[in-house]
Amino acid sequence: MPISAISEGDCWTLYTDLIKKYREKINAHVHGVYDNDLLMHIEGSTKISTNSKRNMPVETKSDDMFDDRIAYQLHIRQKKCANVIHKSFTQIFTPKYQNIVLKLLRENAGVALPNFPSFSIIERLYRVEHKNFYEPCNNLIDEIFEYLQDILIKILHNVFSEETNYKDLMIHKLTDIILHTLNENEEACCDDIQKMLDIEQRVFTLNHYYMDTVNKIKQKIQNNEENRASSK
């Protein structure tokens, strides 16, 4: 049907339906509901069975930028970031690091009560290690941004799979919206990460009662919200 024969109401209805389909597809992939997940398992099992005779196991490339398993891909990247951070602290268990701690203990002898090391030692040691968080966190944001940029545009093209006169123009406009939204969220995420890292660098966060205090505040906020909801 030529585009001139479509009314404004028909265009708006079609546009609304496509956007709804796009949102539902993204929401499903974010929550781990994939259209072809069972098919992938069946095909994967068949391939493994076929290749087992040749002693050549088939491996799935989970870090493919065009893999639409959004929930799984985000998990993989978060796990990678956690491993990098974990490895950056392995020096703590080395004899060299232990000697540094012993040196600090000797230097601070007499500052606190006998047999009770000064809390400033923990603070000094942590401030040196704190910098190890910045690079992995920033890299995680960059990787997630690049992945979401690629996969959201891919899903957009899948939703607009049928050839229409307005397809290219619609995809172009929606792509601009997607990129603009991702850029805004990337900036907000970077700001939040920076705030959290700054907070973790403060002395009070090293106190063992810190998380108890945080959880009490969260619980108080939740109770207030529930009370307001019930009073309406």
| Full set of structural domains in the chain with CATH | 3-222 (1.20.120)
Mean pLDDT of 9-13: 76
> Around 27, how many Cα atoms within 13 Å sit in the side-chain half-sphere?
6
- Work out the pLDDT band at 141, boundaries 50, 70, 90: very high
**Using CA of residue 105, residue 106, residue 112, residue 114, what is the dihedral sign?**
positive
Residue 26: partners with Cβ closer than 8 Å, 6 or more residues away? 70, 152, 155
Residue 189: name the closest of 129, 143, 131, 151 by CA: 143
102-to-97, 99, 159 alpha-carbon distances in Å: 9, 5, 62
**pLDDT given at position 108:** 75
Model confidence at 44: pLDDT above 60: no
Q: Whole-structure pTM over 0.85, yes or no?
A: no
Q: What is the Cα–Cα distance from 78 to 70, expressed in whole angstroms?
A: 12
Model confidence at 54: pLDDT above 80: no
Q: Provide the 8-state DSSP code for 164.
A: -
Model confidence at 219: pLDDT above 70: yes
Model confidence at 132: pLDDT above 70: yes
> Around 2, how many Cα atoms within 13 Å sit in the side-chain half-sphere?
2
**pLDDT given at position 52:** 44
Q: How many CB atoms lie under 10 A from the CB of residue 156?
A: 19
Average pLDDT, the chain: 77
> Around 214, how many Cα atoms within 13 Å sit in the side-chain half-sphere?
10
